[in-house]
Structure 1
Amino acid sequence: MSDWLPDTPRTLTFPTAAYVTLDGADWLASASPHPHSVQTLWATHPTVPSVLPCGTVFDVINAPALFGRRMVDRLWSAGPGSGPVAAHRGRILLFASPGTAQRLPSLLGWEEWAHAVPPLLYHGAGDAVTVPPLHPGHSPAEQAAGDDVLASAVSRWLVAPDVRSPWLPGPDVLLWACVRAARCASDEEHETALQGPVPALTTG
């Protein structure tokens, strides 16, 4: 299973858009039962994070920052790419096709590398997630809080939504990414162990 990747779209260039396009905003807003109210909120407060429901337009797989970045790196370097990806308060949010939050845990439970995958959070039907602002920048409250707080609570898009119907990975693709990220972490730990401890410097 761990070497198999479903036949899915592949984009060779890792996107670096820091903000959401109008089409991307329409797609995000469509997750809400009141999309026009969401768009009005964004128009008046473009630098404030928003809360959107999951389960109909998208699910979200929520991973620790380092492991989530490893997943994203594998998706773009050796896989089909990803859907939108956000960073929020030390976590990585991977937007996935509806139903992924329900299926991925059981698929991961059968995988031999599951023990090396840190605890993930699965947001599906009945859940909601906080997403970054559409555009980079900080709210007045964040600016008043100072640089230290901003650094620890950064909220931004790594792969910003830019079309009305973005491709979203399903549970099979994200299972593949989890396994590859877990293998990467294991290989790095093994290499560190082989190098041994760094000898202490002594003075004569």
Structure 2
Amino acid sequence: MSDWLPETPRNLAFPTTAYVTLAGADWLASASPHPEGMHMLWAERPTAPSVLPCGAVFDVINAPALFGRRMVDRLWSAGPGSGPVATHRGRILLFASPGTAQRLPALLAWEEWGSAVPHLLCHGSGDAVTVPPLHPRPRTARTGTARAAGAGRGRAVGHPAEGAEPGDPAASTGSRWLVAPDVRDPWLPGPDVLLWACVRAARGGLGADQETARPHQEPAVHTADTALTGG
């Protein structure tokens, strides 16, 4: 049913920003009733995750990792792009316009593909979410052997938790930015856009599951034919 995309600006390049800019930090802090306190906290603990309320500046749609990745892929490959996106404890957090958390479940309930969408946690007014650190913690070599083994290997942008030292809060929570906020007023998808992304992700996932199952079915058919022919 919802194989249409609302008229939204189209961004053609997938961003690889792994850290929050000063303007992006101002936007995040504006969600707090005490913005200056958030800036002080980040200055004291730059590699620690923090908690921000939803509902006023943004809502957050919290999806299982694989399905959330599919949503983000569809948004950037065939849609208008996304707002900030983070990962936390194996879940994907898509930042959306205020009100999305209330409207999206109702839209999915009317959507014929809604039953194929896994359970989404929709955080809106009265909820709070954990956001990743503003900046990833630099990787440090533990030993000379590790340093030599790692020589010449590049690190993909967006994986700041890898190689983090023991006790690093970001490492223990698995928090990192996939699309970090980098402007003071980022564009945020609304419920219509995220409904479209959910449907496209669900349909694409079903096709991938069918393709995966096909190689396992064909040998079984071949074996049955061989038994019937005595070959």
Output the TM-score relative to the length of structure 2: 0.80
| Distance across 2 between alignment mates of 1:119 and 1:105 | 10
Structure 2 unaligned runs (5+)? 139-160, 221-231
Residue in structure 2 matching 1:144, options 163, 166, 178:
166
Deviations 1:56-80 (A, max 9, x none): 0000000000000000000000000
Which has more radius of gyration? 2
Aligned equivalent of 2:154: none
Q: Which amino acid aligns with 1:77?
A: S
Aligned equivalent of 1:103: 103
Spell out the pairing of 1:75-94 with structure 2 (5 A cutoff). Answer: 75-94=75-94
| Distance across 2 between alignment mates of 1:143 and 1:198 | 47
Tell me if 1:185 matches 2:208: no
Spell out the pairing of 1:51-130 with structure 2 (5 A cutoff). Answer: 51-130=51-130
| Distance across 2 between alignment mates of 1:159 and 1:74 | 14
Aligned pair count?
Answer: 195
Q: Which amino acid aligns with 2:79?
A: G
Structure 1 unaligned runs (5+)? none
Aligned equivalent of 1:170: 190
SS at match of 2:166: helix
SS at match of 1:143: coil
Residue in structure 1 matching 2:179, options 144, 159, 177:
159
Deviations 1:2-57 (A, max 9, x none): 21101101110000000000000000000000000001000111000000000000
| Distance across 1 between alignment mates of 2:53 and 2:103 | 18
| Distance across 1 between alignment mates of 2:167 and 2:193 | 39
| Distance across 1 between alignment mates of 2:58 and 2:42 | 19
> Cα offset for 1:198?
8.3
Deviations 1:120-173 (A, max 9, x none): 00000000000000000189xx72259xx94x7421000000000000000000
SS at match of 2:18: coil
> Cα offset for 1:109?
0.4
Deviations 1:60-108 (A, max 9, x none): 0000000000000000000000000001110000000000000000000
| Distance across 2 between alignment mates of 1:50 and 1:197 | 48
- CA RMSD in angstroms, aligned pairs only: 2.0
Aligned equivalent of 1:45: 45
| Distance across 2 between alignment mates of 1:21 and 1:144 | 26
Tell me if 1:31 matches 2:31: yes
